[in-house]
Every structure is written in structure tokens, then in C-alpha cells.
Structure 1
Amino acid sequence: MRAIRITEFGGPEVLRLVDDQPEPEAAPGTVVVDVAHAGINYADTHQAENSYLAPASLPLVPGAEVVGTTGDGRRVVALLAGGGYAERALAAEPLAFDVPDAVDDGAALALVLQGTTAWHLLRTSAHLQPGESVVVHAAAGGVGSLAVQLAKRWGAGRVIAVASSPDKRELALDLGADVVVDAGADDLKGAIEEANGGKVDVVLEMVGGATTDASLAALAPFGRLVFYGMASRRPPSPVEPGALMQRSRGVIGFWLAHAMRDPQRHLATPMRELLDLTAAGDLRPVVGGTYALGDAAQAHRDLRERRTIGKLLLDTQR
């Protein structure tokens, strides 16, 4: 079958289209999905260079999510251990979720990984309370665009969207953000505090480096920073527990892989809620572009250069 295969670690150039990838075979507890579209995530760019939390081994077919049909005709969206950038993929049955007719492929892919991440960032990690202020970095991205909407829906007092371009900031406002901040501001801490009229309660952060440092400094007492990525490839400054205690601040890490270990407990409810909201028109997943399977490398380039918004898809039929 056709697939994207990686045989050496590196940048987007290591993603190569092949037509001789062995097809997956179902084992007990798994299902083969005929892939209509595969989802692209920022984590995929880390996996390609072997800088992700989970070390990779070669050769590999990247891709952690697909939407398509099973042999018995079910239309499902599924989380994978890998292998999504292909015409067929293998999924564990508990990680394959039925998709309502009212939810299209792009929306389903936006929800299954990035949507459930946004759900857990706000509900499980930050324990968002009504009236609290929420800062969403990369607010026009896959997770961010959904987190902006969910935070408003769940009673945030003020949603502050941080994004890198005027178009992205305009999108965040359209999705419900109360105010926007330029990600490239010289004094990001000051810009965040000015946007809120003071220090903030919750920050969702996936950039790393100076962005994390500025965000932590902008937290109010009892504020929580949830760290779920490091897109800049630069680690933030070390955090001293004593400094957290002095300001009663918290730093919480989140990785969806831990939710995938017990999908019935950690994913079934978020997926049901997200799919229902989307089917009813109350949640708007943003699809930022669809690429041919053979253009996966270009998709990674665009993602790394911040040229994209929302969810990116690979069309396995192209």
C-alpha cells in the first residue's frame, strides 16, 4: 500500500512516499481502518527527528490519528500508536470512535487528539473555574482554536488568545476570545497582564523557552500553567519549587498518551461531548488545509514555519 515511510531521522525531508508498505493485519482487540484522511499533529514533526517524549525506532510510518471505514462498514475516527500516514492503519478497538453523519472527516480528526487534549487541559489539568481568566497560546492552532471555544463555553471570565499573525488573532476573536496578544511581543508578560488587567489564572502553553517563562511570571496566586508541548524546541528555565510556593502557583504537565492507556475512563466522555457539540453546531473545529499523501513533507514545513491554522489533513486518495 501507499504510505509515508521514515528511514532516517531529520526534518521534513525524511518523509518519503512509498508504494510497497506492508498492509496491517488485524489481531484480537484491533481493527483495520481504510483511511480516508489522516491527521497531522505538531508531535509528528518531533517524531520525525526523534525529539518526542516517546523515542522512535526506524523504519516508521508516522501518524497518530485517522478517519475512515472498518471492514464491517463503520465510519470511525481512531487514535493510533503510529502508522496513520497510509492507506490503511491498525487501531485498538477501544480507541476507535464512531463518527456521526453530521461531523465531517476534518472535524472528527480535529476532535480526536487535539480536541480531547483541549478538553483535558481545561477540565482535568487546570480545573478551570467559572470567572477565571485563561491564556491560550497558539490560539489559532488545532488545540488552541478548540480551547478558546471550550473555555468560553465553560464559563471563563476572560479568554486571552496569543497568536503570531493578525489573521490568526482575528480568527481567535471570531472563535470567542475576548482579547488577543501578539506572540512576538517584546514584553510578553506585560502584554498578557495588560490584556487581562492584571495577572492571570490559567495558561495553556506549548511553545517553551521564553514564552513559558513569561507566562509563568504572569500567573496570579493560585494560578496554573499547563505545559503540553515545546514547539520552539527550547526548554524553559528550570522551575524552583520554592518560587512556586512563594506565589502559590502551579505548573502541570499533560500528555494525551496517558489518557490513551485507559480510553473508557479518560477519552469516552470527552469524545462523546465534543462530537455532540460539533454535530449540534455548538463547537467549530477549524480545518486549516488538506494535503495529498505525497505532500506530507510540505505539510510539516508549513506547520513548523507557523504558516497554518487549525487542523491539517492528509488525503490518502491523492
Structure 2
Amino acid sequence: MRAIQITEFGGPEVLHEAELPDPVPGPGEVLVEVDHAGINYADTHAVEDSYLSRTELPLVPGGEIVGRTGDGRRLVALLPRNGGYAQRAAATEALAHEVPDEVTDGQALALIVQGVTAWHLLRTCARLVPGESVVVHAAAGGTGSLAVQLAKSYGAGRVIATASNERKRDLALELGADIAIDAAPEDLEERLVEANGGHKVDIVLEMTGGPVFDASLAALARFGRLITYGLASRVPPTPVAPASLMAHSRTVTGFWLAHCLRRPGMFREPLGELLGMTVKGDLTPRVGGVYPLSRAADAHTDLRARRTWGKLVLDVRQ
């Protein structure tokens, strides 16, 4: 089968097309003929071995697939051991969900990691109360574009989006954000407070790290919650002193979807809810780019350069 494989760690340049044997499903697994694979920012970390979990070589990247089983079922699946950038993949039944006919492949791929992550950021971690203000960084991205919509659906009083350019800010407004501001870290604290009518904010969903994390924490109101779920800048933030959290009754919470996969009710159930919302038209996952399998390196290059928006997808059939 055709696949993208890496045999050394690095940037997009280490992604190469290869001919590999078909995977052999183990107990509780099913072989899926892959039509499309999802691309996540986490994939760029896996390729350079800078993710939370260590990567072993050789590696076929990719944790999200949608395709059909031998008995004709159309499934979207999360692959805990990667392997998605390929024509076939062995998927764990417990981490797979049938896709309604009304949902496209790209929409299903947008929901399985980024959608479920956005759900948990707001529901499990932030415990959003109707009327609270929510800051969504990278609001035009895969997770951010869904978090904006879900925050409004769950009753947020004001959704403040940040994005790196005007086109992305316009998209965030189209998705329901009340205001969209520049994501640059300089004077970000002041801009967040100004965007919230001069008041500090209740919730921040943050995945950049570095000075963006620092400014977001400083912009939190009393009893505010900052949820960190990524380090896209690859720059660590300033260490947080417990006394500074106590002084303002602020909370910093980390989130990693992998911790939900073996806990009852924390993966398939939110995914099912999101698929249902998409069928009803209450949620609109956006696909920002479809690349042929052979151009996986280009997709990673564009993603790391912040040239993309929405969900990125590999067409494995091309």
C-alpha cells in the first residue's frame, strides 16, 4: 500500500512516500480502506519527536482516518498508534464511530480530535457557565473554529477570537465570535480586556504558549480559567507561581485528549453529540484544505507557517 513514512526526525522534509505492507488488525481492531486522513498540528510534533508521547521510528504519521470496512461500514476512527497517512489502517473499534450520510469525510475528521477537544475544553475543563466571556486563540484553526461555535451554543456571553490575519478574523466572526482581534503577543493583555468591554475575561482556551500564555493569564478575571492544550510556538511560558494564582483565584488547567480515550463517556459520547449537531446544522466544521497523499510535506509546511485555516485533510486516494 502507499503511505507516508518517516525514518528520521525533523521537519516536513522527512515525510516521504513509501510502499509498505498492509497492516494486520489485532484483537478488537478492523481493517479500514482509507479515503481521507486528518492532519493535526500534533502530527508536526510527532514528526520531530517533540510531542507529549515519544515517537518510535519508522513511523507512518496520522491519527485520524475515515473510510470503509470490508463489510461496508463508513467509519471515522482515531488511531492511538498513528498510521493514518496510508491507504489502509487498522482501527480500534472502541475508538471508531459510524459516520452519518449527511456528514462529509472532512467534517467527520474535523470532529474526531479537534471537535472532541473543543467539547472537553469548554465542558470538562472550563465548565463554562452561560454569560461568561470566552477567549479562543487561533480561532480560525481546526479546534478554534469549532470552539467558537460551541461556546456560543453553550451560552457564552461574549466570545473573543484571536487570529493572525484579517481573513482568519473574518472567518471567526462568520462562525459567531462577537469580536476578533490580532493574535500578536505585544500588548495582548490590554487588547483582550478592551475586547471584553474593559473587563478581564473568564475563560481562555490557549494553545500557543510563550508570551501568549503569559498575557492570557494576566488577562484573567477572578475565578477565571485558562485551559492550555498545546505549545504551537514551541516556546514555553513563564513558570506560574502558586501564590499568583491564589492572589487572583485563577485556575490553569492542562488538557490532552489521550487521557479521555479509556475513560467511559469521554470520547465516543461527545463525538456522537458533535456528529448529531452537524447533521442538524447546529455545528459547521470547516475544511480549509485538501492535499493529495503525496503532498503531505506541503501540508505540514503550510500548517507550521500558519497559512491554513479550518481542518486540513489528506486525500489518500490521490
TM-score (norm 2): 0.98
Other-structure match for 1:213:
214
Other-structure match for 1:236:
237
Matches within 5 A, 1:184-223: 184=184, 186-197=186-197, 198-223=199-224
Contact 2:185 2:215 in 1 (8 A): no
Aligned equivalents of 1:26 and 1:44: distance in 2? Answer: 23
Structure 1 residue matching 2:309: 3-state secondary structure: coil
Structure 1 residue matching 2:265: 3-state secondary structure: helix
Other-structure match for 1:161:
161
- CA displacement at 1:265 relative to structure 2: 1.8
Query: AA paired with 2:283?
Result: L
Aligned equivalents of 1:65 and 1:93: distance in 2? Answer: 13
Other-structure match for 1:258:
259
- CA displacement at 1:50 relative to structure 2: 0.3
Other-structure match for 1:299:
299
Matches within 5 A, 1:270-281: 270-281=270-281
* Aligned sequence identity (%): 65
CA offsets 1:2-57 (integer angstroms, 9 cap, x no match): 000000000000000112x1211112111111100000000000000000000101
Contact 1:290 1:312 in 2 (8 A): yes
Aligned equivalents of 2:5 and 2:247: distance in 1? Answer: 49
Aligned equivalents of 1:31 and 1:266: distance in 2? Answer: 22
- CA displacement at 1:180 relative to structure 2: 0.8
Q: 4+ runs of 1 displaced by more than 6 Å?
A: none
Structure 2 residue matching 1:265: 3-state secondary structure: coil
Contact 1:185 1:191 in 2 (8 A): no
Other-structure match for 1:90:
90
Question: What is the alpha-carbon root mean square deviation over aligned residues?
Answer: 0.7
CA offsets 1:47-86 (integer angstroms, 9 cap, x no match): 0000000010100000010000011110000000210000
Matches within 5 A, 1:51-130: 51-81=50-80, 82-130=82-130
Between 26-35 and 44-53, the greater mean CA deviation after superposition: 26-35
- CA displacement at 1:185 relative to structure 2: 5.5
Aligned residues: 316
Q: Which runs of 5+ in 2 are unaligned?
A: none
Aligned equivalents of 2:291 and 2:105: distance in 1? Answer: 14
Structure 1 residue matching 2:17: 3-state secondary structure: strand
Aligned equivalents of 1:228 and 1:185: distance in 2? Answer: 18
Other-structure match for 2:314:
314
Query: AA paired with 1:38?
Result: A
Contact 1:40 1:63 in 2 (8 A): yes
Q: Which runs of 5+ in 1 are unaligned?
A: none
Q: Does 1:8 align with 2:20?
A: no
